[in-house]
């Protein structure tokens, strides 16, 4: 009986814990006699057949490494068909069949899940794992990389406490999270941020300024503001909602759809202007304001122990599902256990923080201003 041949790739932004997952998949698959083929640089490697055999030596000493030994890219098959035509995507499908793969494992975030579902619909055996420092993938409680990024963000805000206190400033810390504020909320609570601004809760600028002024009047001469990059003010939300409403009332059909798409692109482009937030707070409070944008810093370094364990659980469970020929799914953690969720239930979905989530309730109880 021929050995099963399984492909594996990592796509989208890098994340701590990806190598731990690759190692777990590799070790478990090789122990079962599988052949493992790695694709370099995400879906680009699949499109261009940049592949390499993964053997035991390749998996040595990667458990604690950050990034991904396979490399990654932001090429997305589900978008390429629109921009480059179906023949471009067909090359990825041809690579899969030319290598006689029995299945393909895709590790990545929301866009990767969309691409995985897209390829599954075109006849490929796909199984995916959830990676995201923002913890924003639907149906799973935790994603690979979130715990590490949470620790880094919390430590960064901890370190900014001292300079904020010494210089009597407002320190604004921008944290990754365009559509979901899990990372900002968790880091803000863990490090004692005075204000936490999230994409899920449009903020009132005067409410934020008043909270900071109240601290200043009480003799607390500094404030820390944790803001997710996708946070929006109430004024901005109202402006774009009015624009969409006017467009709908004045246009119809394709014209209305085209203009609505442009308005949504503009909203996405100008959402989360942290520098403008800093300028407005300085004007409203009269307090010196400084901004730190953590950005890619949150993706670097060695994964936490929690992420290594989670990635190992996901990786070994992945091989178990492959043994059962159970494809077309993303593995998810639910109620602390690893299970399989149809890709159709993940693709195109968001995972915002629920309004009744205990983290939000806890933040309010300790007096944290959430901008509302």
Provide mean pLDDT across the span 257-279: 64
pLDDT at residue number 267: 47
Compute the distance between CA of residue 8 and CA of residue 51 in angstroms, rounded to an integer.
9
More confident residue, 181 or 165: 181
Compute the distance between CA of residue 217 and CA of residue 264 in angstroms, rounded to an integer.
40
DSSP state of 295: G
DSSP state of 342: E
Q: What pLDDT, in 10s, does the model give residues 88-105? A: 789 899 999 999 999 999
- Reported as a pLDDT band with limits 50, 70 and 90, residue 263 is very low
SS3 279: helix
pLDDT at residue number 241: 57
- Give the ranges where the chain is alpha helix by DSSP (H): 18-31, 43-48, 77-84, 86-98, 110-121, 146-167, 182-191, 205-217, 234-250, 253-270, 274-285, 305-323, 358-365
- Give how far Cα 135 sits from Cα of 12, 111, 185, Å: 14, 13, 11
Which CATH number is correct for 5-144+303-345, 3.30.420.10, 3.40.50.450, 3.40.50.300, 3.30.930.10? Answer: 3.40.50.450
What share of the chain has pLDDT > 90, as a percent?
A: 79
Cβ proximity of 51 and 45 under 8 Å:
yes
pLDDT at residue number 88: 73
> Can you read off the two tokens belonging to residue 333?
């953690």
Provide mean pLDDT across the span 81-87: 67
DSSP state of 192: T
Cβ proximity of 22 and 40 under 8 Å:
no
Provide mean pLDDT across the span 342-362: 97
Cβ count near 365 (within 10 Å)? 8
Compute the distance between CA of residue 272 and CA of residue 202 in angstroms, rounded to an integer.
11
pLDDT at 18 over 90: yes
pLDDT at residue number 247: 57
Beta bridge partners of residue 228, listed in sequence order: 175
- Nearest 5°: the CA angle 83, 136, 172 is 105
- Reported as a pLDDT band with limits 50, 70 and 90, residue 249 is low
Cβ proximity of 129 and 315 under 8 Å:
yes
pLDDT at 349 over 80: yes
Of 81-90, 224-233, 267-276, least confident by mean pLDDT is: 267-276
Give the chain's mean pLDDT. 91
| CATH placement of domain 150-299+355-365 | 3.40.50.460
- Reported as a pLDDT band with limits 50, 70 and 90, residue 237 is low
More confident residue, 239 or 156: 156
Query: Shortest CA distance to 171 belongs to which of 146, 143, 191, 149?
Result: 191
Q: Which residue has the tokens 């299945």?
A: 103
Cβ proximity of 182 and 204 under 8 Å:
no
Compute the distance between CA of residue 48 and CA of residue 218 in angstroms, rounded to an integer.
62
pLDDT at residue number 284: 95
pLDDT at 244 over 60: no
Within this chain, domains 5-144+303-345 and 150-299+355-365 share the same CATH topology: yes
- Reported as a pLDDT band with limits 50, 70 and 90, residue 243 is low
H or E segment to which residue 129 belongs: strand 126-130
More confident residue, 189 or 274: 189
Q: Where are the domains of the chain?
A: 5-144+303-345, 150-299+355-365
Please write down the HEC assignment for all residues of 202-248.
CECHHHHHHHHHHHHHCCCCCEEEEEECCCCEHHHHHHHHHHHHHHH
pLDDT at residue number 186: 98
Supply the Cα-derived Rg of the chain in whole angstroms. Answer: 23
> Can you read off the two tokens belonging to residue 56?
């035991």
Cβ proximity of 131 and 112 under 8 Å:
yes
Q: What pLDDT, in 10s, does the model give residues 296-332? A: 999 999 999 999 999 999 999 999 999 999 999 999 9
What share of the chain has pLDDT > 70, as a percent?
A: 88
pLDDT at residue number 89: 84
pLDDT at residue number 77: 83
pLDDT at 229 over 90: yes
State pTM to two decimals: 0.91
Compute the distance between CA of residue 93 and CA of residue 81 in angstroms, rounded to an integer.
12
Provide mean pLDDT across the span 53-76: 95
């Amino acid at each position: 009986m021929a050995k099963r041949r399984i492909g594996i790739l990592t796509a989208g932004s890098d994340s701590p814990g990806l190598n731990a997952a690759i190692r777990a998949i590799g070790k478990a698959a090789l122990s079962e006699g599988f052949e493992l083929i790695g694709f370099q640089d995400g879906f680009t490697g699949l499109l261009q057949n940049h592949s390499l055999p993964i053997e035991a030596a390749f998996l040595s000493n990667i458990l604690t490494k950050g990034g991904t030994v396979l490399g990654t890219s932001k090429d997305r098959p589900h978008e390429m068909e629109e921009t480059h035509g179906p023949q471009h995507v067909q090359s990825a499908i041809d690579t899969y069949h030319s290598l006689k793969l029995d299945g393909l494992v895709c590790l990545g975030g929301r866009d990767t899940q969309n691409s995985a579902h897209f390829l599954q619909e075109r006849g490929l055996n796909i199984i995916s794992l959830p990676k995201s420092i923002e913890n924003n993938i639907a149906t799973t409680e935790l994603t690979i990389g979130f715990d590490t990024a949470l620790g880094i963000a919390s430590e960064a805000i901890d370190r900014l406490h001292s300079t904020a206190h010494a210089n009597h400033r407002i320190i604004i810390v921008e944290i990754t999270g365009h559509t979901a504020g899990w990372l900002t909320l968790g880091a803000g609570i863990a490090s004692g941020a005075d204000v936490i601004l999230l994409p899920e809760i449009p903020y009132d600028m005067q409410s934020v300024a008043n909270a900071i002024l109240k601290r200043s009047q009480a003799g607390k001469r500094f404030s820390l503001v944790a803001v997710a990059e996708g946070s929006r003010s109430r004024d901005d939300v109202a402006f774009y909602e009015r624009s969409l409403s006017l467009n709908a009332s004045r246009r119809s059909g394709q014209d209305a759809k085209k203009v609505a798409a442009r308005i949504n692109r503009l909203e996405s482009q100008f959402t989360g202007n942290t520098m403008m937030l800093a300028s407005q707070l300085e004007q409203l409070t009269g307090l010196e304001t400084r901004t730190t944008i953590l950005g890619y810093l949150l993706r670097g370094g060695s994964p936490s122990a929690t992420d290594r364990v989670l990635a190992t659980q996901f990786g070994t469970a992945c091989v178990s599902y492959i043994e059962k020929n159970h494809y077309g799914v993303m593995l998810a953690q639910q109620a602390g256990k690893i299970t399989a969720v149809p890709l159709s239930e993940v693709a195109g979905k968001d995972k915002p923080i629920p309004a009744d989530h205990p983290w939000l309730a806890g933040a309010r109880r300790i007096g944290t201003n959430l901008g509302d």
